[in-house]
Structure 1
Amino acid sequence: MTTTATAAVTTRGLTKRYGSRTALHGIDLDIARGGVFGVIGPNGAGKTTTMRLLLDIIRPSGGELRVLGEEPRTGGAALRRRIGYLPGELHLASRIRGRELLAHYAHISGPVRAGVVDSLADRLGLDLARPVRSLSKGNKQKLGLIQAFMHEPELLVLDEPTSGLDPLVQQEFLRMLHEVKRRGGTVLLSSHVLSEVQQAADEVAILRAGNIVKLATVAGLREAAVRRVRVIVAEADAPALQATLERVPGVAELRVSGDLPGTVGVEATLDTHVDSFVKALAGHDLVDLTIEEPDLEQSVLAYYDDEAGVQ
């Protein structure tokens, strides 16, 4: 279990109010060192507010928080040099070239190893000689990623980091995250795109209206997600198969359809581990079996339904 002493980020009852509006309702988090932690939620869920509180850009209305063992309010510049940050709304000075801007950030953030900036620029496909004002949204995002990664911080806080990036660059970004993990760094990543977090994160927090409605590992979300399954058997065996599947926990929405001559397809949804489902099929002579990847999108969207409430 992650403790306050070993966690990269710890919050207890973290609250943020703006006048009569409460943006965060008592958030409790323990983010272990050496992994990627994803925060999922729609716009307005509290993702950016949480990150700004951790960086002391804004101050909490209540609760406690520690980042890399220190309180952000008193950690000052020394603590911030241990952190790389990419804001969701990136504003860059436009009158200078990319390389000059990164040199300025390097002076602020601390030493940058020789060759790191050029290596990151090559990997992301960014020309550092171009003026910032001439860069597209995607290229400005690359510049923002370089400034966050270049001093190899202990903690990366990345708010919607792949916004504007093409799919090939997104894959390179994922490789960069895995490298951070291998060297023992920690990443806090926010997104409203589940597939992005699914590929990168070890654990996730699902935010809804300033509340954490679910804390889970990605593997745990996958385990509990709904899968679609399809079993094809000889026509004569279809009634017996249907009767079997009706007794398997987690099987629902059974539907029988015609298939190839002499065979029948039985389709269903499965919201539990595939082990019991596969074992139940052992007594039947299968022609074919398809188990689709779990639909994590539907699992997460369920937490945003009005009827789901806040847990």
Structure 2
Amino acid sequence: MNAIETKKLTKSYGKSRGIMDIDLEVKEGEIFGFIGPNGAGKSTTIRTLLGLIHKDSGEAKIFGMDCEGEREKILKETGYLPSEVFYYENMKAIDLLRYSASFYKKDCSKKIKELADALGLDLNKKIEDMSLGNKKKVGIVQGLLHSPRLIILDEPTSGLDPLMQQTFFELIQEENKRGATVLFSSHILSEVQKICDRVAIIKDGRLIQTQKISELQDNSYKKITFHVKDNPLDEFQLKGATNIEIKGQTVRFIYRGDCNLLLEKINNYPLLNVDISEPSLEEIFMHYYSDKNK
């Protein structure tokens, strides 16, 4: 069974960008990355899945249940960490978390303590006295305290220092080993690379690619840099070359295509040096956002 499944999911905000024809399948038990820059449609997709906003058309299901018609059942099985968390400032963390736990009709006290200890969170501190990072920790505990089958994370590491980010990743991996499915939304590709099995790339409200992380950075992509001896170059064009940067006598680009055509092309220049290497995931990611791929 798919934990998440959408078909032609569409939400419009009038002239503002929403999402269009989103076909998404997240398998039960996997950690799935959902990446794109801010404004690409990640949060709109998530809010539609959670029934926080209503779709215009299409289908959205979680564990086979309709995201609007069976929303209450879905929320009992789902943990959600939004990109920004807001709470009653005068409440203590423990009171807030106990109140949250009461909705699930189960004893969550042990899980709350385990999560708080792992994150170094003072449960007796008032929300108003907490830093942004500690408020985010409260959100993490709140999202995981009922051991949900599905965990939805929207830009979850904002506000956390690097060491706490690593602790957070370890907690999510433990939840996944327990059997939880994870949807990890981020604009930081390196975060997604650390823990995800597959990744979907969203651009301007549309999905443009879904791949295994291992396939996203395969040998078909090369990072090319060459330097010419004489006059600076004005332009460079080659089929299969994207993200082309020309700075004086240096040309850089990402290439996917026939290596013979590549070598034939650059051999026409008075070369000083050539470097062919594997691109980073970030550079491949930017390939999907280049002008030629609009």
Q: Structures share a fold, TM > 0.5?
A: yes
Q: Distance in 2 between matches of 1:42 and 1:53?
A: 18
**Partner of 1:242 in structure 2?**
none
**Partner of 1:296 in structure 2?**
281
Q: Distance in 1 between matches of 2:259 and 2:180?
A: 43
Q: Does 1:306 pair with 2:291?
A: yes
Cα shift at 1:75: 1.1
Cα shift at 1:270: 4.0
**Partner of 1:268 in structure 2?**
275
1:50 pairs with one of 42, 45, 49: 45
1:127 pairs with one of 119, 122, 126: 122
Question: How many residues of Structure 1 are paired with residues of Structure 2 in the alignment?
Answer: 258
Q: Distance in 1 between matches of 2:105 and 2:260?
A: 56
> What do the CA deviations read for 1:29-81 (whole angstroms, capped 9, x no partner)?
01001011111111110000000000000010010111111001111322211
In structure 1, give the amino acid aligned to 2:204: A
Q: Distance in 1 between matches of 2:64 and 2:27?
A: 12
In structure 2, give the amino acid aligned to 1:308: N
Gap change, CA 1:225 and 1:143, over 3 Å in 2: farther
Gap change, CA 1:267 and 1:137, over 3 Å in 2: same
Q: Is the 8 A contact 2:17 2:204 kept in 1?
A: no
In structure 1, give the amino acid aligned to 2:287: A
Q: Distance in 2 between matches of 1:250 and 1:115?
A: 62
In structure 1, runs of 5+ residues without a counterpart are 1-5, 230-246, 258-265, 272-293
Q: Does 1:97 pair with 2:92?
A: yes
1:45-194 paired onto structure 2 within 5 Å: 45-194=40-189
Higher mean C-alpha deviation, range 109-118 or range 125-134 = 109-118
When normalised by structure 2's length, the TM-score is: 0.81
Gap change, CA 1:34 and 1:132, over 3 Å in 2: same
In structure 1, give the amino acid aligned to 2:25: D
Q: Distance in 1 between matches of 2:96 and 2:220?
A: 44
Gap change, CA 1:176 and 1:225, over 3 Å in 2: farther
Q: Distance in 2 between matches of 1:109 and 1:206?
A: 33
Q: Distance in 2 between matches of 1:76 and 1:116?
A: 24
Q: Distance in 1 between matches of 2:179 and 2:287?
A: 34
Q: Distance in 1 between matches of 2:124 and 2:88?
A: 15
Counterpart of 1:91 in 2: which secondary structure?
coil
Gap change, CA 1:268 and 1:81, over 3 Å in 2: same
Counterpart of 2:69 in 1: which secondary structure?
helix
Identity of aligned residues (%): 37
Cα shift at 1:302: 1.2
Q: Distance in 1 between matches of 2:187 and 2:131?
A: 22
Q: Is the 8 A contact 2:5 2:25 kept in 1?
A: yes
- Runs of 4+ residues deviating >3 angstroms: 224-229, 247-257
Instruction: Select the structure that is richer in helix.
Output: 1
Higher mean C-alpha deviation, range 173-182 or range 94-103 = 173-182
Q: Distance in 1 between matches of 2:5 and 2:68?
A: 14
In structure 2, runs of 5+ residues without a counterpart are 225-257
Q: Is the 8 A contact 2:42 2:202 kept in 1?
A: yes
Q: Is the 8 A contact 1:250 1:270 kept in 2?
A: no
Gap change, CA 1:172 and 1:112, over 3 Å in 2: farther
Q: Is the 8 A contact 2:85 2:136 kept in 1?
A: yes
CA RMSD across the alignment: 2.4
When normalised by structure 1's length, the TM-score is: 0.77
**Partner of 1:277 in structure 2?**
none
In structure 2, give the amino acid aligned to 1:157: I
Cα shift at 1:248: 5.7
Counterpart of 1:115 in 2: which secondary structure?
helix
Gap change, CA 1:95 and 1:63, over 3 Å in 2: same
